[in-house]
Each structure stands twice: as structure tokens, then as C-alpha cells.
């Protein structure tokens, strides 16, 4: 089992925890976050370079950790810059969400491979 600071993960992320707007992890943002470049400036502080090349400064200790347009217009949601900073800090929830995403991707790839194999065989028969 994964541990963080001596605590079992279950103690931090109860399986029955229902995500709220503040705690939900958007898969689309998480996928983007994984590709962002982040320089660690201090504990919980990152300079995150966005897709446009623009740099956003994230401070996880602040009430509003990122000042990007996504944060502004979708107040309360966790933007990709913040997710990237949390990733950098080894946040267990983010790492688990990334792992889940990878497993889902693998399953999709398997399903796709199986489907195309089936189609190829069907085409050979006809
Ligand atoms: Zn942001």
C-alpha cells in the first residue's frame, strides 16, 4: 500500500469520499497538466509554463493558488497549473488520479486493438 508521511493513503482519501467542486480532479485538465513544465521555486511554489508559453506562478499555500483565466472564470475548480504543482509536490490524490488515467488509457488501447483485429479478420473472410 502507498504511504505518505507515515499515513496509509486510505486515511487521506476515503474510498467513499464524494468529490466536490473544490476537490474534484478534471481528467481533461489532469491530462494537460502532466505535459506542463514546472520549476519549483519553494515549498508548494511553482513557475508553471502553460501551452501558450506564458508562465503562471502557483502557490499552493494561498487561498487562490493560481491567477490564470481558467481559475478566474471557473472559480473553485482546480486548474491545470495547480494540478501540475500538486503533482510536483507528490500529492497522493493526483498521483492516484494519474494512475487511474493510465489504466483507463491501457484498457481503451486493448479494446481498440481487439476491435481492429476483429474487423481485419472479418475483412479477410469476405
Ligand atoms: Zn492556473
pLDDT tens-digit map of 29-71: 999 999 999 999 999 999 999 778 899 999 999 988 999 999 8
CA of 71 to the centre of ligand 1 (A): 5
Distance 56 CA to ligand 1 centre (A): 7
Determine the 3-state secondary structure of 116 from DSSP.
Answer: helix
Examine the pLDDT at 2 and tell me if it is beyond 70. Answer: no
Question: Residue 66 C-alpha to ligand 1 middle, in angstroms?
Answer: 5
Closest CA to 79 of 57, 103, 101: 57
Please list all protein residues whose beta carbon sits less than 5 angstroms from ligand 1, which is an ion: 66, 68, 71, 79, 81
Which whole number is the average pLDDT over 92-117? 91
Average pLDDT over residues 7-24: 59
| pTM assigned to the model | 0.75
Amino acid at each position: 500500500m502507498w504511504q505518505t508521511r507515515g499515513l496509509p493513503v486510505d486515511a487521506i482519501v476515503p474510498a467513499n469520499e464524494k468529490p466536490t467542486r473544490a476537490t474534484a480532479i478534471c481528467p481533461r485538465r489532469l491530462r494537460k497538466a502532466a505535459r506542463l513544465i514546472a520549476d519549483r521555486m519553494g515549498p508548494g511554489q511553482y513557475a508553471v509554463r502553460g501551452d501558450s508559453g506564458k508562465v503562471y506562478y502557483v502557490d499552493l499555500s494561498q487561498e487562490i493558488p493560481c491567477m490564470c483565466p481558467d481559475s478566474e472564470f471557473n472559480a473553485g475548480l482546480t486548474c491545470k497549473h495547480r494540478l501540475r504543482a500538486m503533482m510536483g509536490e507528490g500529492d497522493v490524490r493526483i498521483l492516484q488520479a494519474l494512475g487511474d488515467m493510465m489504466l483507463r488509457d491501457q484498457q481503451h488501447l486493448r479494446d481498440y486493438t481487439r476491435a481492429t483485429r476483429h474487423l481485419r479478420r472479418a475483412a479477410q473472410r469476405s
